[in-house]
């Protein structure tokens, strides 16, 4: 769909992860250090497991960029796996690879192990988990970072943060993102990145850390709720004319494809189901000083499958990670014997990391929608169309 797309490849313990992005216009400043900043954020957050001590993710730009500027040709990114030396004999592509080593036959509840083995006829569950692993999301964060660079040039800011972990919840700002605007985006981002769990509420952040430590001691895991906001979007991104072009559906699909995500809502979301229509929607007003405006943002910035000019609010529910240090019950696929599920290195809580991944997923879909509407093989063409649309919107708002 649209002119912007990407593919990723690579296994969790393979030599590297790769991504190819097509459709980024020429003339965009793109630096590996900006991508690497987001990769570091993905690896952070209290509750991460031992893998994060091994991998120090850094992206290498292999093509599509020259002298720090995009060329309009496909951009390819490489993220090397630092643990490859310990796995090359087991995960190699060569016929002599020792595929019988580190073999897994005990599927883990909550993972792709069992369904994936039945789909592809794999006898070794490692063939499934190596690609189904959340390690793949490193490439999606890198791709999302490229999208964020494009959006930033247009004045669009995308930020993900943690609203709750387990039963600990911050005083939710929910769909009232105007409060964030009053604090200031720079201060808001500083609050998020200075928190060990990427939660802007200092008190809740401390309680979340304590909850994670308690779960670690019990050999258990925790999930939580993430919020992704975007500011600076004009009305009219997305479309109402076909189901697959509605932006809310596309955002939900992108975020739900992140491992362990089990729910997505926009704006008031599920809470609107218990409201009356008179209190569930955003009335439209006019004044000579500001033109057409809204007093609320219950729709979360989307109406009829399109942005409506208000800040975007996407809330995301992440389940507890299903790999437990105290394994759940399972069955050995070779013997039929009741066993404890297999255990790979795992996190106690990856909600903070997932907030970075969700931010990247939202940024990519928004960048896609921008390029669909304004097109342009180079950045100047894109920005010209962007400015003209905003001028039209402001004129109509003022009546």
Distance between CA 149 and CA 37 in Å, rounded? 12
Span 240-262, average pLDDT? 97
pLDDT at 226: 97
pLDDT at 176: 63
Are 13 and 91 in contact, with CB atoms under 8 Å apart? yes
CA angle 65–372–3, rounded 5-degree value: 45
pLDDT at 19: 98
Where do the domains of the chain lie, and which CATH numbers do they carry?
A: 5-397 (3.60.150.10)
pLDDT at 174: 53
Distance between CA 144 and CA 208 in Å, rounded? 27
Span 86-109, average pLDDT? 93
Q: How many helices (H) and strands (E) does the chain have?
A: 12, 17
C-alpha Rg value of the chain to the nearest Å: 22
If we measure between CA atoms, which residue out of 310, 346, 341 comes closest to residue 328?
Answer: 341
Q: What percent of the chain has pLDDT over 70?
A: 95
Between 118 and 342, the higher pLDDT residue: 118
Span 241-263, average pLDDT? 97
* Other residues' Cβ atoms within 10 Å of the Cβ of residue 278: 7
Statement: residue 165 has pLDDT above 70: yes
pLDDT in tens, 189-236: 999 999 999 999 999 999 999 999 999 999 899 999 999 999 999 999
Strand partners, 284: 294
Span 5-19, average pLDDT? 96
pLDDT band at 248 (very low <50, low <70, confident <90, very high): very high
For residue 380, give Cα distances in angstroms to 153, 164, 265, 267, 363: 11, 41, 35, 33, 20
Statement: residue 375 has pLDDT above 80: yes
pLDDT in tens, 324-364: 877 889 999 999 999 998 777 678 999 999 999 999 999 99
Statement: residue 175 has pLDDT above 70: no
Span 267-271, average pLDDT? 93
What is the rounded average pLDDT for all residues in the chain? 92
Distance between CA 371 and CA 389 in Å, rounded? 13
Between 53 and 263, the higher pLDDT residue: 263
pLDDT band at 127 (very low <50, low <70, confident <90, very high): very high
Statement: residue 1 has pLDDT above 50: no
Instruction: Give the DSSP per-residue string, 353-392.
Output: HHHHHHHHHHHHHHHHHHHHHH--SBHHHHHHHHHHHHHH
pLDDT in tens, 20-41: 999 999 999 999 999 999 999 9
């Amino acid at each position: 769909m649209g002119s912007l797309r990407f593919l990723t490849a690579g296994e969790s313990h393979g030599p590297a992860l790769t991504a190819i992005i097509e459709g980024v216009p020429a003339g965009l400043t793109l630096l590996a250090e900006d991508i690497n900043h987001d990769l570091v954020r993905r690896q952070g957050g209290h509750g991460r497991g031992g893998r994060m001590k091994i991998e120090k993710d850094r992206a290498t730009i292999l093509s599509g960029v020259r002298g720090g500027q995009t060329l309009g040709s496909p951009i390819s990114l490489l993220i090397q796996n630092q643990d490859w030396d310990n796995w090359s004999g087991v995960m190699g592509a060569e016929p002599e690879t020792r595929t019988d080593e580190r073999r897994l036959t005990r599927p883990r509840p909550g993972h792709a192990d069992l369904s994936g083995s039945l789909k592809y006829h794999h006898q070794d569950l490692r063939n499934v988990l190596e690609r189904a692993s959340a390690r793949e999301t490193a490439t999606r964060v890198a791709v999302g970072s490229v999208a964020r660079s494009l959006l930033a040039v247009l004045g669009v800011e995308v930020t993900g943060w943690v609203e709750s972990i387990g039963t600990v919840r911050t005083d939710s700002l929910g769909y009232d993102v105007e409060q964030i605007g009053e604090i200031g985006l720079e201060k808001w981002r500083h609050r998020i990145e200075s928190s060990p769990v990427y939660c802007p509420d200092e008190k809740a952040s401390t309680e979340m850390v304590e909850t994670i430590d308690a779960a670690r001691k019990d050999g258990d895991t925790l999930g939580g709720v993430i919020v992704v906001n975007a500011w600076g979007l004009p009305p009219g991104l997305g479309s109402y004319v076909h189901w697959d072009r509605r932006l809310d559906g596309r955002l939900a699909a992108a975020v739900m494809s992140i491992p362990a995500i089990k729910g997505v809502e926009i704006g008031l979301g599920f809470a609107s189901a218990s409201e009356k229509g008179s209190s569930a929607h955003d009335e439209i007003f006019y004044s000579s000083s500001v033109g057409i405006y809204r007093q609320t943002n219950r729709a979360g910035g989307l109406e009829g499958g399109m942005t409506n000019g208000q800040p975007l609010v996407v809330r995301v529910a992440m389940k507890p990670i299903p790999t437990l240090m105290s394994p759940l019950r399972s069955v050995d696929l070779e013997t039929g014997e009741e066993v404890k599920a297999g255990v790979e290195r795992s996190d106690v809580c990856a909600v903070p990391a997932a907030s970075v991944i969700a931010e990247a997923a939202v940024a990519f879909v928004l960048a896609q929608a921008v390029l669909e509407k304004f097109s342009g093989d180079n950045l100047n063409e894109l920005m010209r169309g962007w400015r003209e649309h905003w001028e039209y919107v402001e004129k109509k708002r003022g009546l």
